[in-house]
Amino acid sequence: MSQLTNAINEVISRGDKGFIPYIMAGDGGLDQLKETILKLQQLGVTAIEVGIPFTDPVADGPTIQKAGERALANGTTLQKVLTTLRTFSDEITIPLVAMTYLNPILAYGVEKFAQDAYEAGIRGVIIPDMPLEESDIVQPSLRDSGINLVQLVTLTSTKERIERLTKASEGFIYAVTVNGITGARSSFEASLEDHFKQIKSYTDLPVLAGFGISTPNHVKSFSSFCDGVIVGSKIVDSLYQND
């Protein structure tokens, strides 16, 4: 069992649910990355999703897009993020999950990315613009380095597609809770519980809900039928506002 899966299962075994905050690396400057990660770690989060800014994000809502633009304006790159993480990787005790796009990885070099990412504390990678059918481009190198490739399961996925995605995913299942991009939502579809039951019927991996979750009530609601939540836009906005 991987370090990422273990971290989530350990929380579940205590009767709690996993909580993974998303942050945009370089928003506010890379010199703030250490402080942010160590602060969240001290607060007891299960893992941290580290967003890599990209010029053409397909999954990001307005809040995260703006954070990415600020990070890019600060000169943030995938290489600089990993280099920064490596400077304090010995202080990181929880798994980091990189959320990036395929082009930056290809430009970096898949094998070198996998090696450098592991040394930086990355234990999982999410690539929203890479379909399952193309995962062999990166998965062997990631697996050789000890990094999980986490798959996204959407509300529009067919039963057959859900089964394939869950069987291929590593670390955990990222269950998308809305049709569309990230961003805070006031409500969700009533049939989500059935959707999560279907996902869980295909896998023993933890199933975490993400996209749109922004309030304590959302967290409480989703925690009743999944193994944890990923909170992005609310966290990014709070960090930007220095709340």
The CA distance from 87 to 71, in Å, is 19
Beta bridge partners of 231: 21
Catalytic residue among 27, 35, 60, 144: 60
Catalytic site includes residue 91: no
Q: Three-state DSSP class for 153? A: strand
The CA distance from 200 to 162, in Å, is 10
Dihedral (Cα; 29, 30, 34, 36), 10-degree rounding: 40
Q: Dihedral of CA 134/233/145/172: which sign?
A: negative
List Cβ neighbours of 133 (8 Å cut-off, separation of 6 or more).
Answer: none
Distance in Å from the first CA to the final CA of the chain: 36
Q: How far is CA 108 from the centre of its chain?
A: 20
**DSSP assignment string, 12-58:** HHTT--EEEEEEETTTT-GGGHHHHHHHHHHHT-S-EEEEPP-SS-S
Catalytic residue among 49, 116, 170, 227: 49
List Cβ neighbours of 86 (8 Å cut-off, separation of 6 or more).
Answer: 116, 119, 120, 121
Catalytic site includes residue 163: no
> Which residues are catalytic, by number?
49, 60
